[in-house]
Amino acid sequence: MTAANLSDGAGAGAGTGARAARAAGGGDLRGGGGGLDDRVPFLARLETADRQALLALGRELAFAPRMVLLHQHEPSSHVLFLVRGWTKVTASAANGYEALLALRGPGDVVGESAALTGRPRSATVTALEPVRAVAVEHERFTDFLGRSPAVSFALLGLTSDRTRAADRRRLQFASMSVRERFAALLLELARMHGRRTDDGIEVAVPLSKQELAGSVGASREMVQRLLKELRTREAVSTGRRTLLITRPDVLRRIARAEHPDA
């Protein structure tokens, strides 16, 4: 499927990759830390000229909330560079269990692994809010990498950082109970996606109880019980796909971890 076909399928207007390059280059994509880690998106790792040249290869697409950008198991035809908006990355097992693998936002790349390996996509990417992305056909993407060693090394660094982050999370979660894992997840969401308000820290990405459960290896019913406990302790306040953390200190004690930014 070409980028033009994707534009029709997305059901929304498409712009040029050059305009997206200017938009991506104008924002702060580097996150809060000074060094590169898994929280620094791909486009922020590139020099301005490389970023603009890469995005100019593609076509800008628009996706409405809950629209699927990439489907698990489908053949790879393109890579997506997110310019605006947040997405969730999920994977489903044969028994129907769905796990939340990651949240990807402005500056991130999705679909690159399938493009590089030629294998079917390993996860589904879904818009959590209005999303704009640049689609680059995988042949053009791999050709560009072959001509741009700096971009290739940046992609290698991103892959390494994501792998290390996943390993670190698995090791941490292996020593925790579900209750502790859930508290740690809420702290991480607050740190990465929280917005401070007069009432607490509002988690700005809308996630369902099932998605939260899949992220910590629990059932939806278990997450409901944990949220009820946290509401009783006045640590959180919840609504329909909304979460407000009012007592991060309670979550820290449960998670046995310190997150000073939360």
pLDDT digits (tens, 9 = 90+) for 77-92: 999 999 999 999 998 8
CATH fold of the domain at 177-255: Arc Repressor Mutant, subunit A (1.10.10)
Give the percent of the chain with pLDDT over 90. Answer: 54
Q: What is the pLDDT of residues 223-243, one digit of tens each?
A: 999 999 999 999 999 887 789
For the chain, the three-class secondary structure string (H helix, E strand, C coil) is: CCHHHHHHHHCCCCCEHHHHHHHHHHCCCCCCCCCCCCCCCCHHHCCHHHHHHHHCCCEEEEECCCCEEECCCCCCCEEEEEEECCEEEEEECCCCCEEEEEEECCCCEECHHHHHHCCCCCCEEEECCCEEEEEEEHHHHHHHHHHCHHHHHHHHHHHHHHHHHHHHHHHHHHCCCHHHHHHHHHHHHHHHHEEECCCCEEECCCCCHHHHHHHHCCCHHHHHHHHHHHHHCCCEEEECCEEEECCHHHHHHHHCCCCCCC
Backbone angles phi, psi at 99, to 5 degrees: -115, 140
Q: What is the pLDDT of residue 131?
A: 97
Cβ partners under 8 Å of residue 212, min gap 6? 100, 182, 185, 223
The two tokens of residue 131 are: 């999303």
Cβ partners under 8 Å of residue 153, min gap 6? none
Q: What is the pLDDT of residue 30?
A: 37
User: What number of residues does the chain have?
Assistant: 262
Structural domain boundaries in the chain: 3-171, 177-255
Query: For the chain, what is the mean pLDDT?
Result: 83
Which whole number is the average pLDDT over 102-112? 94
Which whole number is the average pLDDT over 1-26? 43
Bridge partners, residue 125, by sequence: 70, 89
Q: What is the pLDDT of residues 139-156, one digit of tens each?
A: 999 999 999 999 999 999
At residue 19, does pLDDT exceed 60? no
The two tokens of residue 225 are: 């019980």
Q: Which residue has the higher pLDDT, 173 or 44?
A: 44
Lowest-confidence region among 36-50, 116-130, 138-152: 36-50
CA angle 200, 181, 250 (to 5 degrees): 35
- Whether CATH 3.40.50.300 fits 3-171: no
Q: What is the pLDDT of residue 241?
A: 74
Q: CA torsion, points 144, 146, 152, 153, in degrees to nearest 10?
A: -150
Which whole number is the average pLDDT over 25-51? 67
How many whole angstroms separate alpha carbon 183 and alpha carbon 227?
A: 10
Q: What is the pLDDT of residues 173-223, one digit of tens each?
A: 788 899 999 999 999 899 888 889 999 999 978 888 888 888 888 888 999
Cβ partners under 8 Å of residue 245, min gap 6? 186, 190, 194, 200, 201, 202, 203, 235, 236, 251, 262
How many whole angstroms separate alpha carbon 66 and alpha carbon 137?
A: 23
The two tokens of residue 180 are: 């502790």
Is the whole model's pTM more than 0.85, yes or no?
A: no
